[in-house]
Amino acid sequence: MKLKWEAHGFKTPLARARGLGSLRSGLKEWVRLRVAAIASTILAFWFVWFVLQSVGMSHLEFVKYLAVPVNSIAMILFVITLFYHLVLGIREIMEDYIHSEWVKILALIFDYMFFSVSGVVCVFFVLKIAFSMGV
């Protein structure tokens, strides 16, 4: 199967690139990916600090420590930004390297569904821990 952008025939590089979309169309996604990466990095530092603080705690002490509102909110933000960044990154890879349109669409649907459900489950359990401790 010949792809439009492959160098064959007498087409100029501009002729091969026409119809493939604007160069500006990916700017929003690029910015979103970078902002999610920065937010995930900042929250990852908090997560490492949180884990180091909880080393040696019993299960009940850890649950009480996670139930503190600041820790619960930070954990939820960490989960949301991490899964959002994960979805954006995997989508970028799929769009670049899967050339069959129907396979790409199925893979993207599975990607969105799997990681969205996984993120919601993580947030649900953090909220369950937070509310079970009477916060």
For the chain, the structural domain boundaries read 23-132
Q: Residue 87 corresponds to which tokens in the numbers above?
A: 């979805």
The per-residue pLDDT for 27 is 82
Q: Which top CATH class is 23-132?
A: mainly alpha
- DSSP conformational letter for 135: -
- What is residue 74's predicted lDDT score, i.e. its pLDDT? 97
Instruction: Cite the DSSP H helix spans in 1-135.
Output: 13-17, 27-54, 59-67, 69-97, 101-132
* CA distances (Å), origin 47, targets 11, 83, 132: 53, 15, 21
Per-residue pLDDT of the chain (135 residues; tens, 9 = 90+): 566 556 566 777 777 667 666 666 678 888 999 999 999 999 999 999 999 999 999 999 999 999 999 999 999 999 999 999 999 999 999 988 988 899 999 999 999 999 999 999 999 999 999 998 765
Q: Does the reported pTM lie above 0.85?
A: no
